[in-house]
A and B are shown apart, each in its own frame.
Chain A
Amino acid sequence: MIENKNEDVEKKPCIKCGVLIVLDNRFCNTCGARQDGKIIEPAANRWMLLQQGALFYGIDIVACCLVKFADFFQNLSRFLFFDILMAITAIIFFADNWTENKKLLTWRNFSWQKLAAYGAIAIASQIVVHYSVTWLNIAIYNKDDVYYTYLNGNYAAVIFLISFTAVMPALFEELGYRGYLMQTLLKVTDQEQAIYISAFLFAIIHMSVISLFWLIPFALFLGITRMRENTLWYGIFIHFCFNLTACVFELR
């Protein structure tokens, strides 16, 4: 059988005029329409999205500063205020684009094995982090920096501690950073940079230079998990296990 050589080349119809063209061609040679160009939001739209992200991050910065420096919040009420403010911010920004973001709250690929594995990783890394941070703080700052000192002897507040250091941050930090912020960044840039930016921003908002050495890898891990599993729930569970282990250390 004699075949025309030209027929061997894989072809596709032009997206505009429908004439068959060579698969690799970037432009239709009949009508000139671009074939491979990705439709990207104009720079102005992406800049607007970044500004919206900056607003979200700015509110978080102010909230963190208030909790760290303002005198008018005492002990538990300051954490209550802080957590509620963070939660409201995260929910508002996340719900702003609810139709697109709600798919992150589904959990289609649920598996107990995965959940257990992620939980184990989280607990193990918190143990490593706890001992190395204690050592670093004593070595550099000459003090044992205890995060939640207000609890000393107050065991009635155990449930309070767990809900405000393990449950609330896990839920709403994930909703805010791996949810809203990452969804926004994915529209602005590629997946890799979106993971980097959200991880770095999440790490530095904790406002502790020494903690960056574990916060950045931890946030990268959460970002990668969110991308791979396409759900927020594994991240929330990892974050919860991680913080809960920290609580256990505090309560000893």
Chain B
Amino acid sequence: MENPPLAPTITQCYACLKNVTDEDVFCPDCGYPLKGTPSEQENFITKSTFRDINLAASNNQVRKAGNTLFYLAGVFALGGIVFFVLRKDDPDVAAISITDFILAILFLLLGEYSKKKPLACIISGTCLYVIVQVLNFAIAPSSVISYIWIKIIIIGFLIKGIKSALEIEKIKKENNIA
């Protein structure tokens, strides 16, 4: 009488530590070449390490863009307060200060939600900032020139944030990371 076939041995995948059987040529969970040549295995590990580094760097850029939005919230809030204190008697003071405060609140909300929906918030924040600058330019052209370097840096951070958010979405979706 023949012996029944042995149940496949269960071991751990070298890359993701999930259970695999000795029938598997590739890990069904992460795609690691369990029976591949050492160079194939090394290649796989290098690629996934590179992906992790890329993800970490992109997350860092997105965080910087989020901080830029918080910084803008602070700038507009401060601007509103300063304007209110300096020009108390101006009849337009309430209108301008309130506009500044609403912008500050918008940037604050965008900065806060950029942790959850980075792409949507950073794109929205960038467009809002650009529109504010365009309006400033239309009302008082010289105002855009002041602190122009800071403005360029802000736009730079935001655009890098958008690119990194695109990269993160791609990595996450392709690898099913929630």
Contacts and interface: CB of A to CB of B under 8 A. Distances in A.
B26 A32 contact: yes
A65 B138 contact: yes
A38 to B, nearest CB: 5
A189 B20 CA distance: 34
A43 B163 contact: yes
Contact of B95 (A141, A190, A204, A205): A141
The contact size tier of chain A is 35 or more
Contacts of A46: 166, 170
Nearest to A58: B130
Interface residues of B, number: 42
Nearest to B28: A25
B128 interface: yes
A118 interface: no
Contacts of B124: 196-197, 200-201, 204
A159 to B, nearest CB: 31
Given A142-B91, A189-B169, A205-B131, A29 B117 contact: no
A196 B26 contact: no
B81 interface: no
A153 interface: no
Given A43-B167, A46-B166, A140 B25 contact: no
Given A31-B25, A47-B166, A193-B119, A26 B128 contact: no
